[in-house]
Amino acid sequence: MFDIKPHAAHWGYFEALVKGGRLIGARGFEQDPYPASLLDSTADAVHSPVRIDQPYIRRGWLQGRRRGAARGGEPFVPVSWDRVTRILAEETARTRAEHGDTSIFAGSYGWSSAGRYHHAKSQLQRFLGQGGGFTSSVHSYSYAAAQTLLPHVLGTNEVLLGRVTDWHAIARYARVMVCFGGLAAKNGLVSSGGAGRHDCRLLMQRAKQAGVRFVNISPFQGDTEAELAAEWIPIRPGTDTAMMLAMAHVLIDSHRYDEGYLNRCTTGFEKLRDYVMGDAEDATPKTPEWAEPITGVPAQRIRQLVLEMTVNPAMLTAAWSLQRAEHGEQPYWMLVALAAMLGTIGKPGLGVAFGYGSINGMGTPRRELPAIAGPAIRNPVGLSIPVARITELLERPGEVLEFNGQQIALPDIRLVWWAGGNPFHHHQDLNRLQRAWSRPETIVVQEPWWTSLARHADIVLPATTTLERNDIASSSRDRFVGAMHQAIKPLAKARNDVDMLADIADALGYRDRFTEQRDERAWLRFMYERWRQQCAGLGFEAPDFDRFWKVGHVEVPEPPNGQEYTQFADFAADPDEAPLNTPSGKIELFSATIAGFRYADCPGHPVWIEPREWLKAPLAKAYPLHLLTVQPATRLHGQLDTGRVSAADKIDGREPILLNPEDAKARALEDGMVVRVFNARGACLAGLRLAPGQMRGVAAMATGAWFNPEVPGQPGSLCIHGNPNVLTADIGTSSLGQGPSAQSCLVQVERWDGPLPPISVHEPPAFAPPLP
C-alpha cells in the first residue's frame, strides 16, 4: 500500500503516491478529462540523480576568479549551510555598499512551482526588496511584444492574458474561426498556477460539433488536432502580417468593411487604409498578388477566405508564438485591425483574442474571481529592463536601452541572483549569453537540480521540489484551487527557498520583516482566508481553510447555462459610455503615441517590414531552412527533461528536429539519424524526424533540452544535446516591445558522421575537495 497526497503542478492537479518515504508515482485528478502524460515523469524528477544535495561554491570563485571568469567548466566545492549563509550575507552587503542597489539583478523568470507561497521569484524579490532593492525585469518571454503593444491599441492586456471571449460564446455565434499559428492542443496541457481540468481540447471539440469551421494558417498542419478537421493554409514563417494586409486590401477594395463600426469604435483607419491601398508611404498596394510571393499563400485563397469571413460570423485569433519574432508587434496589431474592419470586436462570440491554443484556460467559461496571491513587495529601486534583454543588460553597462518610449540607463550588474527559472533554457543565442555571463562578480542560483543554470553559477543553493513542502495552487484561468500537501521529506540537505532566504535575512538583520513572523502553515492560512473574503464579496462562498485542506481542492461552479462571455461587449454597445483605456477611448488602428516614439522598426500603424532572417532573405542562401522553436509536449519548458517521457521522445539521446521529407531527401538524410544543425551563431546535434505535414523549407525543434556544450565553459562549443537556443537570434522584436525574436532564425542541417559525444548534463558536474 501507499500514502496518497493531493498535489498540483503547472501540468495539472494530481495525487502523489508515496511508499516508504519515496515518491513512486502520480495519478491524475479525478475531474480532469485529459490528465497530462507529464505526470509519469514526476517521480523521475524528484529522485533524479542530478538533484543538488547540499550547497556548493565554484572553486574559482573561492580562489578569487570572479569577474571575467568563464563559468560552466570549473568544479564545485561543497560547503555547509552556515558558511554559505554567512558568505551570501556578506557578499550582498558588500555589493550594495560598493556598487549600489541597482547592481543586483533578480530576474528569476520562470515556472518553478504552481504553488503561490513557495513562488521562488516572489520570495527572492521580497528578500532583496526589503534589503534595499534590485534591478528587475518586466513582461514575459511568452508574449512580451504583445504585452507592450496591446495597451496602446486596445487599452488592455486582457485580450492576451485574461478572461477572453469564451468557447461557449464562440460555439453559439461564430461559424468560422481563423487561427494564425493554429490551436496546438499540446500547449493546453499546461497552465501557470496549475489546472484542475484540461478543458481546452474538449471545448474546441464542442465548438466543432456546434458548426464552427476552423482554418489553420501555419507552417504546420498539426497545429490543430485532426478531430477539428481544420483547413490548413500553409504560410511562410514570419509573413502573417503580409497576408493580413492583403486581406484588408480585399475588404477595402470590395467595400465589404464595416464603415459604421470603424467610425464609431476606432481611430486612425484612414492612415492604415492609405497604407494598405498604396496611397501613401511606400506607394505599394498590399494586394493578394503582392502577398502571394511573400507568404506562399495563393492570392485566390486569400480572397476566398476574406469572402467567407464577411458571409459567416468570424472569430480571429493568433498563437502567442506569432509575436515571438522580429517585428512581432505587427501581426497582432494587424489582426486587431482586421477584426475591427469586420465590425466584430465586442459582438457575441466574435472579434479577436490571442492564445486560445497557447495555454490551458484561455476561453474556459468561468466566474470572474481572483487567484490566490502570495506575499509581495514593491521594489524600492523601481528599475526594470524588458525580460528578454538580460544579455544586453550585462553587455552594456552605462548605455541606454530604448523601450516603449522610455530610455533605460543600464546599470553595472555585479551580482546576479536567480531562483525558480533558467535563462539557459528560455533565452536566445546562448553562446552570446555565456560571454555576457562572465561579467558579474557573483552569480547565485537556487535550484533543485544541476541544470545548465546551476552549472554556470558561483554559489548554488539546493532547493526543495514542490513535493517536499506544502503550498496552494491557484490560477486566474482555472475554476479550481488546489491543496499541495507535502508528500516526502526534503531530500539530502535541500531547503525551501523561503527558509534559506530567511536565514540570510537574519544575518542581515531583517528576518522578522521578511517572514512577518508567520511559518509556512500560517502563511497558507492567511493567503487562503484573504482570498475567501475576496470571493465572498463577489458572491462565492468558499469553505474555510481547514475544510479546504482536508478535501484537497475547492471547485468554483461554472457560470449558469446560457451565460456566455464576450470581451469588449460593453464597449461595442456604447463606446462613449464604456471607453477603452486608450488616449482616444477607441481601438487605435493608428497610435499617435507610438508614432511619437519615432521608432523606425515600429511606426504608428501596422506595416510589413521584412525580418532579417526569413526564407526570402539573402542569408537564406547559406542557411536555407527557417527554424521554428516550439513548446515541447514531453516536458514543461526545461522541467522534467530528465524524466522518462522526455527521454522516450529523443533520438540517440538528442532532441528531435522535424523536417519535411523532401528537405531531408535533398540533404541525403534519413529518419532517425543524428544531424548537425548550425548557423553563424552556433550549432547543436539533433535526431531527425520526418514530418510530412510541415512546409518545405521549415524546420522545427522543441525547446527545453538542457544546454550541454561539448566543452563546458567554452562559448561557441557544440551543444551535443539539442538546445535550439544556441541557434536563435538575441534581438528585440522592436524598440517598442523588445520581446524575444526566437522565431526569426535561419539554419542549415547536415549529416553528423562523427562519434556521438555522451550526454553529460544529466549527470552531476565535477566536484573538488574543500579548500584548506
Residues with catalytic roles: 109, 111
The burial of 461, by beta-carbon neighbours within 10 Å (0-12 exposed, 13-18 middle, 19 or more buried), is given as buried
CB 500 within 8 A of CB 461: yes
User: Which cell goes with 630?
Assistant: 516550439
The span from the CA of 367 to the CA of 110, in Å, is 27
Q: Which residues pair with 444 in a beta bridge?
A: 417, 459
Give Cα separations from 33 to 182, 225, 541, 623, 767 (angstroms): 22, 16, 26, 43, 46
User: Which cell goes with 297?
Assistant: 499563400
- Amino acid code (one letter) for 221: Q
DSSP label at residue 356: T
CB 764 within 8 A of CB 450: yes
* Pairing outcome for strands 406-409 and 135-138: unpaired
User: Which cell goes with 269?
Assistant: 483607419
The span from the CA of 436 to the CA of 415, in Å, is 13
Q: How many CB atoms lie within 10 A of CB 582?
A: 18
Contacts of 424 (CB under 8 A, 6+ apart): 430, 433, 451, 452, 453, 456, 706, 707, 723, 725
DSSP label at residue 688: E
> In degrees to the nearest 10, what's the CA dihedral of 698, 704, 706, 711?
30
Q: How many CB atoms lie within 10 A of CB 666?
A: 12
CB 539 within 8 A of CB 560: no
CB 29 within 8 A of CB 199: no
Q: How many CB atoms lie within 10 A of CB 260?
A: 9
- Reference 673, options 658, 691, 660, 686; nearest CA is 686
> In degrees to the nearest 10, what's the CA dihedral of 418, 420, 423, 426?
-160
Maximum Cα–Cα distance across the chain: 82
Q: How many CB atoms lie within 10 A of CB 118?
A: 29
Q: How many residues does the chain have?
A: 772
- Amino acid code (one letter) for 128: L
Give Cα separations from 319 to 89, 405, 611, 721 (angstroms): 44, 26, 19, 28
CB 321 within 8 A of CB 181: yes
Q: How many CB atoms lie within 10 A of CB 621?
A: 8
SS3 (DSSP) at 668: coil
* Pairing outcome for strands 12-19 and 22-28: antiparallel
- Amino acid code (one letter) for 61: W
Give me the phi and psi of 372, to 5 degrees please.
Answer: -70, 135
The span from the CA of 8 to the CA of 484, in Å, is 6
Q: Which residues pair with 360 in a beta bridge?
A: none
- Reference 681, options 647, 724, 645; nearest CA is 724
Q: How many CB atoms lie within 10 A of CB 399?
A: 11
- Amino acid code (one letter) for 505: A
The span from the CA of 705 to the CA of 463, in Å, is 21
Buried b vs exposed e over 595-611: b needs ≥16 C-beta within 10 Å? eebebebbbbbbbbeeb
**From the DSSP assignment, how many helices (H) and strands (E) are in the chain?**
26, 29
